[in-house]
Structure formats: structure tokens, C-alpha cells
């Protein structure tokens, strides 16, 4: 390879690296272990599972309900942090408010649910 070719070769490599890097940064990286630990410590499994209906909807059902919706993360964040009124067997009650160390931990759980 002459100098010009070598230089083009390295520019191509660099471009691939940059594009690959920005795609990786865009995809929501979910910390699955942290999300599952948060579900456990909040006892969400009393009413939810990933794929079976309990008193609350399966996370898979919620994920498909919000699929492609731009406000999905915001909606679920609000759902988990503001104790909206829900109905179980005809009885109204407040949805459990999540206890988490910070907003980032709640958002990670929301993205875990949305990616089921």
C-alpha cells in the first residue's frame, strides 16, 4: 500500500469506529441486575411478573402497550413515583410508590420494563 492508500484505510477504520461508538451510546443500556434488585426490594412481584398477569399487568404487556411511544419513559416514571389511583378487583387504591436511591435507578427500571 502506498501512503495515500494507507491513510484512506485508516480514515475508513476511524469512521467505522465513530459510527459504532455513537450507536452504542444511543441504545439504552439497561442494568438488568440493578432493575431486578429494585423490583425485589420493593416487592413489586406481589402484583407483577415479566410474562404472567397477576393483580397488575405483566411487564411484557406494558412493554408492548408503550412500544414506539416517545413518552413511554416519562409515563412510567410518573406512574412509579406519584402513586396514581388504580383498581384491583373493583377496589380503588393507590399504586405503590417506588423506593429507589435516585431518579436514575427508577429510569433504569422503567427501561428494563420497556425492554421486556
93 touches 37 (CB < 8 A)? no
In the complex, minimum distance from the CB of residue 48 to ligand HEC, in angstroms, rounded to a whole number: 5
Binding of residue 55 to ligand HEC (CB under 6 A): yes
Q: How far apart are CA 11 and CA 17, in angstroms?
A: 10
What is the chain's percent helix, strand, coil content, to nearest 5? 55, 10, 35
In the complex, minimum distance from the CB of residue 53 to ligand HEC, in angstroms, rounded to a whole number: 10
Q: How far apart are CA 88 and CA 24, in angstroms?
A: 40
* Interacting positions 25-54 with ligand HEC (CB under 6 A): 39, 42, 44, 46-48
- Interface residues with ligand HEC (CB under 6 A)? 39, 42, 44, 46-48, 55-57, 62, 65, 75-76, 79-80, 86, 88, 95-96, 98, 113
Amino acid at each position: 500500500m502506498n501512503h495515500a492508500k494507507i491513510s484512506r484505510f485508516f480514515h475508513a477504520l476511524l469512521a467505522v469506529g465513530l459510527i459504532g461508538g455513537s450507536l452504542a451510546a444511543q441504545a439504552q443500556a439497561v442494568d438488568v441486575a440493578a432493575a431486578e434488585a429494585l423490583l425485589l426490594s420493593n416487592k413489586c412481584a406481589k402484583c407483577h411478573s415479566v410474562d404472567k398477569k397477576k393483580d397488575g399487568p405483566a411487564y411484557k404487556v406494558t412493554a408492548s402497550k408503550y412500544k414506539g411511544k416517545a413518552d413511554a419513559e416519562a409515563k412510567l416514571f410518573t406512574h412509579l413515583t406519584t402513586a396514581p389511583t388504580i383498581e384491583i378487583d373493583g377496589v380503588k387504591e393507590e399504586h405503590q410508590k417506588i423506593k429507589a436511591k435516585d431518579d436514575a435507578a427508577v429510569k433504569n427500571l422503567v427501561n428494563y420494563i420497556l425492554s421486556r
